[in-house]
Each structure stands twice: as C-alpha cells, then as structure tokens.
Chain A
C-alpha cells in the first residue's frame, strides 16, 4: 500500500469509532462462548481493542456489526484454545456469572448442557438479533446450515430447559 494511502487509512481509523453498546454485546457473546464472566470481560476488551484499531474497516463493511462479531469470534477461538491448554473447560461449574434470578440460574444450567455451536447460534439469533444470513457470515456457514443449526439448537434448549417452564 502506498504510504499516503496507509496514512489515510490510519487517519480514518483514528476518527471512526465503534458504537459503545457493542462492547456490552461483546461481553454477552463471550459469556455464551466461554461461560466465564471474567474471561468474557477480558475477551471483550481484547476484541474491542482489535475492532477499534480497525474501526474504519469495520464501519466501512456492508454489515459492520456482523463483521465485528466475525472478528470477535476469532478472539473467542483464541481464548478457548488457551483455556484448553490450561485445562479449563468453558462453562465449567462455578465459573459463570452470579445469576440475578432463579430463572437466570436455570438458563445457565441449560446453556451448560448445550454444545458450543448451539449456544452460539442461539445467542446470536435471540440475544443479538442477527438473522440467518448474518449468523452465516459470522460463523462462516451457509444460511441453510445456520437454519438447521438453529433448529437443532432450539430443540436442544427445549429438551434441556423443559423444567424451566414446568417449574414456573
């Protein structure tokens, strides 16, 4: 890249910022991925830093939030690898955030029983409101694969979480 272009890109990056609410979204996403509140905070900082450094590129993409979550997903993968090296399991008992209500605690229990893919798909769809195409972009799957993944995830959540409804 010619030097002037590189300087332009740096200048743009320094002026463009990411929406602050995305940082909270990151914590939620990483919590779903890692199952540890503290790890989620750490990963969120890291992903936010990476996103901020490339803010112009993120905000200039066709779907900035999906693009940003695609970056965050790689950070999550790094953290999962580190956890594996340190013999730590995601969603290990005792690592989750203090649940404010009994319902929240039960949802944590259900999430703990789901696979990583299922948790991710559910949270991206229902917590962050991404559609199938966006989830496909983030997770690098085809929209059809995301659709069937979501179906299976919902089914798994229903099976595991049936007692939530029964207990109410």
Chain B
C-alpha cells in the first residue's frame, strides 16, 4: 500500500461525513434525532417567571425543538432514561444560538423551571431540589465550556441527578446491583458504586472524600433512595461501614408535585407554588413583630438549631442570646428578596457548644433596639415545607441531618482534635462556595486550634451525650 493509496482510502472514507444540521445566521441546531427511551416533548409557556417544560411520551426531538423555538430566552429539555446507558441531553437557547450538550449521566427525568435568577429542578417521582442564587454556584467537573449558562445548567443537571441518585462525575454508573435486607426486613435493591476520583457525592451535594465505594439502597416498590452508605479505603465494598450516612430522603419531597395537576401534565409554576406556601404561612401562623419586621415561623432541627422564617434580611448587628445570656450566632441561609413575598431563613446556633434546650431566644436588631423574645418550639425531625422550599438540599442536609457533637468531646485525643480541625476547615471550604462563613464554625475552629496549642483550657468535664448537643461534628 503506497502513500497514494493511503490518501485515497482516507479521502474516500471521510468524503461522505458532513455536518447534518442547518446553519442560519445567529442560529444553529441539530436536526433529525429521535430521542431514545422515553421521548421528550416540550411546551414552553411564556409565564412571568420564565419557561416551563413538561414531558410526555411520544414526542420527537424535532417537536421539542419547535416548541422551544417559541420559548422565552432560556429553556431546557432533557431525555429521560432511568439507569439506562443513554446520556441525557440538554438543549438551551442563549443569545439566539442553539447549543446542544450531552452530559454523561442519565437522570431520573423531570421538569426544569427557570425563573430568572433561580432555577429549580424536579424529578418525575416528585422529589425536587431548588438551586438558588445561580451566580454564586460553584461547579466542579464539567466546567471547561465557557458558554454563558453552562455552569448553571450543569449544576442544575447535577442537582437533579444527585437528588435522584448519589453519583460522582467519576462513577456515573452503578458497578453492581444486588439485593439486601434492611432493618425492617424489606428486600431492597442495592446499587454499588466505586469511586475513582477521590470523592463521592450524595444526593444533597455533600462530598465524601477519601472513600472507596458507596452504596445506594432503594426502597422496594417505589425505587426511592432510602439509604446511602460510604466505605472508607481498606473496607471491602458490601460491608457496612462505621462511617455510614443514613439519609432520610423524605424531607426532599414534602409535598406531592403532581397533586392538583391535570392527569398526565407535569407542569409546575414554582413561583406560584412558593407564593401560595408563603401566603399560607402568612395566614395561618403567628406574625410576631421584631423591630418592624415579621417572624412567620420558627423551626427547631433535631440538632437544636433554630431556623427562623422572617421577612427581613438581618445584618451582622443582629444580637441573639438565650435565657442564660449565652450568645448565639445568626446567619441568613436563604433569602428571597427578589420575590414579591420577601422572606428569609435565619439560622441561629449557639456560638459555643452549650445548652441547646433553650425554649426562648432574645433577639435584638442591634444594640439599641428593643429586645424581642422569641419562643423556640420543640425539635422536630420533619422540616416544614417552607424550609425545603427555601433551602438547597445541601444546606438542608447540613442543617438537619448532620450528627451532633457533644461538648464532652473537649476531652479527646490530639489526633481527634486534629481531625476535627481538618473537618472544620473543609466545612468552611464548602461554605466558601456560598461566599459566607458560619460564625459558629469559625469560632469552633479557632477554639480547637487554641486548645491544641495550649492557649485555651478545656472547660470542666460535663456529660452532654443527649441528642441535639453541639454544633458540627467530625464524621
């Protein structure tokens, strides 16, 4: 075979390859592809908030494209393939140009709702996640494409994915499936994942570093995730780990997404939904005045933290203390200042590990304001709907499900303290993605460092092993 034959063979092979789409000024799109498995149809509604899409079987990609052409500036559609090998596809329009992106992870399918500065993703089984404040979203993984909106979409997609199945960019598919019996004697399907990139993320976006494998337990019948186990290096996959994150997924879906909707249609107007929730709370719950603002509701997490729903974004001057005069720190973890119903969620925690059983807190907007006493209810493991609506699942997880730390842990080994410092620094790194640092964590870190360096003496030993004591805990 001489050079000429090589050349001829290659030219002959590549001659027939062409771009199959059509190019028009300012717009470019692929055409002629049928979506596999459950096909997607698009319906774009020029609602105030933005565009809504819904899914129905039997529609083609072409049809979805046509529907999207009439949509407002930013819309999305995706394929649906549960645990299949088909990657989902995302199409969005930005600045008059079509982009089609293929992501490597199938998702459970769902509805995307875009409303300007917030985006929400729903899965078909009714679970949902809210991605707030997209400008501040930090995304790992597929971040090489500089197109506007890319990170946003990837993040939302990832969130949908994480909400449905806990996977990492490096382990998109379960490597094995088997059946195991849970504590209630039910036979659950277990999906096992191997980590090859040094970390695994669970549905909430929480990252587990230095793990070897993870297992996802699915509830028999519904297929909903009920448990997520991670295994540290050295442990064989399939064995229970001491570092097991048992996650209740129930709080992700506090309401039925499809209830009240016409059969077959899966359209959700998130702002309207949220608005109705706020109005409901406004009507049914107490509205305590606090220096000109209202406190709609207070929720106490199982860890003893107070989460306050208010209509004001407090600044750093907000002073909170318990009945004994011990200071609490407060941080705004979510706010909807751009919504017609301005609401914020304020997280109040004691500055140092202490008595979390306080039934009242005294709040002052600043040092000169009148003290306002706020009753704190008993702890509940079920977050109210407004909390799930207001918080990203990651924060929800952090605020409600993280294990507590007993202050008896002052008396621990140096190695344990060093581990905690590492863990606290990692926590702050994670919070830095949201450009805010919980003051309590910072103080805890400072205290740990002071204890180790001998600058500070530990307090007298006190057994505080009851649930709900403490702030953040090493896992």
Contact = CB atoms under 8 A, between A and B. Distances in A.
A46 interface: yes
Given A27-B17, A161-B1, A165-B1, A86 B104 contact: yes
Interface in B1-43: 1, 3, 5-7, 9-14, 16-21, 23, 28, 30
Contact of B17 (A40, A87, A164, A165): A40
Interface string A45-67: 11011000000000000000000
Interface stretch (A3-11, A101-109, A132-140, A141-149): A101-109
A49 B17 CA distance: 19
Interface string B71-111: 00000000000000001000000000101111010000000
Interface residues of A, number: 47
Nearest to A164: B9
B28 A107 contact: no
A73 interface: no
B23 A161 contact: no
Of B18, B21, B87, B173, which is in contact with the most chain A CB atoms at under 10 Å from its CB? B18
B169 A85 contact: yes
Interface string A99-134: 111011001101100000000001100110000000
B35 to A, nearest CB: 13
Contacts of B12: 101, 103-104, 107
A45 to B, nearest CB: 6
Contacts of B141: 85
Nearest to B87: A86
B6 A161 contact: yes
Contacts of A92: none
B19 A27 contact: yes
Contacts of A28: 14, 17
Given A45-B100, A46-B145, A107-B10, A164 B20 contact: no
A44 interface: yes
Contacts of B101: 42
Contact of B1 (A99, A101, A164): A164
B84 to A, nearest CB: 14
Contacts of B1: 157-158, 161-162, 164-165
A162 B2 CA distance: 10
Nearest to A166: B1
B172 interface: yes
A72 interface: no
A99 B14 CA distance: 10
Nearest to B28: A45
Contacts of B170: 85
A26 B21 CA distance: 13
Contact of B23 (A20, A97, A99, A126): A20
B101 to A, nearest CB: 8
B17 A107 contact: no
Nearest to B196: A87
A51 to B, nearest CB: 12
Contact of A23 (B7, B11, B19, B142): B19
Contacts of B172: 86-87
B104 A26 contact: no
Interface string A16-40: 0000100110111001100001111
B6 A44 contact: no
Given A45-B30, A157-B6, A31 B21 contact: no
Nearest to B8: A126
B99 A81 contact: no
A154 B3 contact: yes
Interface of A: 20, 23-24, 26-28, 31-32, 37-42, 44-46, 48-49, 78, 81-82, 85-88, 97, 99-101, 103-104, 107-108, 110-111, 122-123, 126-127, 154, 157-158, 161-162, 164-165
- 9 tightest A-B contacts by CB? A86-B104, A107-B13, A126-B7, A28-B14, A23-B19, A127-B14, A126-B10, A24-B18, A158-B1
Given A97-B17, A103-B13, A107-B10, 8 more contacts: A42-B102, A45-B19, A48-B23, A49-B28, A99-B13, A108-B13, A154-B3, A162-B1
